Structure 1
Amino acid sequence: MAAATMLVACSSGGVSDASQKGACAPGVTNDSIKAGILYPDTGVMGTQFSGYRAGVTARFAEQNAAGGVDGRKINYIWQDDQSDSGGSLQGARTLVGEGAFAVLEYTSFSQGSAQYLDDQHIPVVGVADQPLWGDHDNMFTYTFVTDAGRSTTTLADFVRQQGGTKAALVVTYLTEASKLYAAGVRQSLENAGIPVIQDDIDSTNATDVARKIIGAGADTVIAASPLDLYTGVLDAAVSAGHPVKVAVSAVSYDPRVVAAYGKRLVGTYSQLTFAALERNLPAQRRFLQAMAAYSPEIQPAGQNSAIAGYINADMFIRGLKTQQGCPTRESYMRGMRSITDYDADGMMVQKINMTADHGELDRCSDFVRIAPTGDRFEVVNPQPLCGQRIGNG
């Protein structure tokens, strides 16, 4: 972790000249800026988030190789929230205490630290796991997918496209985020006239779950559950002569999944908040090149959490580029709110207005499926699918 630096006061206007010696804001000096990273490196969610820090490392190193931002190189310190809301608060306190200018966060437990970071006026850049991200002006995200009482038509439109008529939810309620995901899926499907059954899965017996789905006559499965359970349910349905027509998993877009389960999950769909790497866009090629150069230990590179880390770091950098001279936390947040067209240089499926879209659900998604060969993903539609927002608020 970076050593502490002597702090000197900023000018009364909140922004000092870049030539000023020392630091003018916590974590900021003439030639460096220190970010804090908060994510679950261990605990029940550790494996799912394992590539996050590597993605951040790759994007920061890429920027530093180009001279940094306004002459400042970016470094970071990090904390493990241990897949726990209490760990989230402790980690946030440690990062702030060690002088992080802002926090980059990817977790399922942001409720633990959100109010503390707001009270301390710390910018937070990350992936919104809960609706509270829309309630705090210091929090900035490139994706907002769950909110109580609200959803979008996007998933239901896709299910209809693929011929689904009745759906079963296979959700393991490990976190508040999974509960909100299930509620949003139900609202989207039922708004489109697609009946939804069996959303109270709390079983590790895949055969039992499949029997209930078959008994209800569901031809569609939407899952936010461990892949062992999800795969077992699909296997059991096929063995019983009831193959699922449309199967969507919230955690299947990862090349490690193809390696471990590919043949058993042929045709499984994933809904993405960013453009699928299979589109081979220039920004995606840069991501893969940066991962190979600066985070080669992550193999394969295209893990969902690594993509999230890279985009989060890019978003943090975009905010820094709105600043002149020496940024303060307040001026940085004003700069972030001035951004009207953020798309991670083409990695996103839509441009984001950091003010108008704050707390608004994503309307657009990319969809991929595991190819018939079982060894890769393939894009489903020529373009991402965009629906409409529905529900209260």
Structure 2
Amino acid sequence: MFLGNKWRLLRQKVAAAVALSILGLVGCGASGDSAGNGQPVDCTAPGVTDTEVKAGLLFSDTGATSSGTLGFRAGVDARLGVANAEGGVHGRKIVYSWRDDGSDPHLNLVGARELVESEEAFGLLEGPAVAAGSAQYLAGQDIPAIGLAAEAAWNDYENMFSWFYVAPKSGSSTVYGEFVRGQGGTRAALVTSALNPAVQAFQQQLGASLQAAGVQVELTVEALNDVTSFEALAARMKAANVDTLAGVLFPDVLAKLLPAVRAAGVKLKAVLVPFGYDQRLLAQLGPALAGTVIYTTFVPFEAGGPTHRAFLKAMQTYAPQIQAPAQDAALYGWLTADLFLHGLQAAGPCPTRQAFVQGLRAVHNYDGGGLLPGPIDLATNRGRSSDCFDFVRVSDDGTSYQPLEPVMRCGRPIS
């Protein structure tokens, strides 16, 4: 999903490594691995001991947005398990305490305060639901926060890091519209399952992308289970001569809308959504979702390769309770933990929170170890729309995901 720049030249890598080393030394102040006289000294940052770095894990274990969080935590466990088995970062194992924010922004703030002030967490790994609740507090304390940026608050704070911004400050990308146009779509219905500010912002980006590609947006509506008449919505789509369905649609809602659309005789050339890439869903909803195209923020599991095999092996070893590890929530947890590890590495042998933030912002080619479509520049990606995604399609019988060719598609920024 990210800018597809190639790896930097060797001398650029060396220069970056030297810069990060300097940042690490600055972060240590007078308390590096040694004081210059060969005598080891202790690091003094909260959560940092001679043998461990303590993180905080804050996510929605309960509440309205908790359905995918078991996989998210398992992905964190798997990535940290691999890192600790390899000796940790600068010789320190990474451990964590956790809190449940109950899908509530207020409880998110309460949990963040407890992790920072009672548990002395060095930084936080955040679930994708209600991190906005603690964003201002964490920024005021210069505490690193890592996660999938599903809310607009992630755009605003230098201490918050992500590989993907769902609701960037402004702009869009031609990638969505170009895909729909390539499928023959010309008239679209934008349908959403949750009208929060972040989703509204993304819907505007999606609409701008479609319009830029010559796809007319005929309907913009909300669809909710137990509220929406899907037959009536399908009739509206039929009357508007819609041939494209797109938007932030949850799989359970889409699985009710698509059969109604088919029954109404609407001939869809493109169905494009960001959610639903999870093998468990196929067993439950596969036939209803047939033909749906999902754009992913990571390389599909069907692509295979050593990085995916390493991920699946780690899930089996450190999170065996997840019997379907090839799921997006688990990979989001893995990438969240992986970015945290990169920040610790960049912060040097005696990490401080300031050195973590400065060092991670100086990483210009993060690719999740090969799990992302292309490398991203953490110095410039905050609050910006992504231009590259991988695309998979639910097979006609609803039993499998089929990567489209080309799997990775990139667009151009729209101001």
Question: Which TM-score bucket, shorter chain as reference?
Answer: over 0.9
Q: What SS is found at the alignment partner of 1:381?
A: strand
Larger relative contact order, structure 1 or 2 (CA cutoff 8 Å, min sep 6)? 2
Instruction: Give the superposed CA RMSD.
Output: 1.9
- Return 5+ residue gaps in structure 1 as ranges: 1-9
- In 1, are the aligned partners of 2:364 and 2:378 still within 8 Å (CA)? yes
CA contact (8 A) 2:27 2:352 kept: no
Dislocated runs of 4+, deviation >6 Å: none
Structure 1 residue 299: deviation in Å?
2.1
**What are the residue-to-residue correspondences of 1:200-211 with 2, within 5 Å?**
200-202=221-223, 203-211=227-235
Residue of structure 2 equivalent to 1:16: 32
Between the aligned partners of 1:31 and 1:146, the Cα distance in structure 2 is 38
Match of 1:32 in 2: 52
Aligned partners of 1:127 and 1:197: how far apart in 2? 31
* Rounded Cα–Cα distance in structure 2 between residues aligned with 1:193 and 1:48: 36
Mapping of 1:358-373 within 5 angstroms? 358-373=382-397
Q: How far did 1:50 drift?
A: 3.0
> Which one of the candidate residues 273, 280, 285 is aligned to 2:309?
285
Distance between the aligned counterparts of 2:230 and 2:108, measured in 1? 33
2:328 is the counterpart of 1:304: yes
Q: Does 1:336 align with 2:360?
A: yes
Partner of 2:190: 169
**Are the equivalent residues in 2 in contact too, given 1:20–1:30 (CA < 8 A)?**
no
What SS does the aligned partner of 1:207 have? helix
Q: Would the alpha carbon gap of residues 250 and 49 (structure 1) be closer, same or farther in structure 2, given more than 3 Å must change?
A: farther
Q: Which moved more, 1:374-383 or 1:16-25?
A: 16-25
Does the Cα contact within 8 Å between 1:15 and 1:325 map onto a contact in 2?
no
In structure 2, C-alpha distance between the alignment counterparts of 1:323 and 1:86, rounded to whole Å: 31
Say which of 58, 75, 92 aligns to 1:55: 75
Whole-angstrom distance in 2 between the partners of 1:365 and 1:12: 39
- Unaligned runs of 5+ residues in structure 2 are 1-25
Give the structure 2 partner of residue 45 of structure 1: 65
CA contact (8 A) 1:147 1:184 kept: no
> Is residue 93 of structure 1 aligned with residue 113 of structure 2?
yes
- 1:358-391 CA deviation, whole Å, 9 max, x = no partner? 3221110000011233211110123410101112
Alignment of 1:197-276 (within 5 A): 197-202=218-223, 203-276=227-300
In structure 1, the residue corresponding to 2:95 is in which secondary structure?
Answer: strand
Q: CA deviation at 1:179?
A: 1.8
Structure 2 SS opposite 1:208: helix
Q: TM-score, normalised by structure 1?
A: 0.92
Q: Measure how far apart 1:15 and its partner are.
A: 4.6
When residues 123 and 104 of structure 1 are mapped into structure 2, their CA distance, relative to the original with a 3 A threshold, is same
1:348 alignment counterpart: 372
In the TM superposition, what whole-angstrom CA distance separates every residue of 1:294-345 from its partner, at most 9, and x where no partner exists? 1011121012111000011111111222233210111111110111110011
Describe the SS at the equivalent of 1:322. helix
Structure 1 CA distance for aligned equivalents of residues 216 and 27 of structure 2: 61
Residue identity matched to 2:103? S
Contact 2:175 2:409 (8 Å CA) reproduced: yes
Secondary structure class of the residue paired with 1:384: strand
Does structure 1 retain, via aligned residues, the 8 Å contact 2:292–2:394? yes
1:108: how far off?
2.8
Tell me, in whole angstroms, the C-alpha distance in 1 between the residues paired with 2:151 and 2:306: 31
Q: Secondary structure at 2:33's aligned position in 1?
A: coil
Look up the match of 1:5.
none
| In 1: Cα distance, 2:250 partner to 2:153 partner | 25
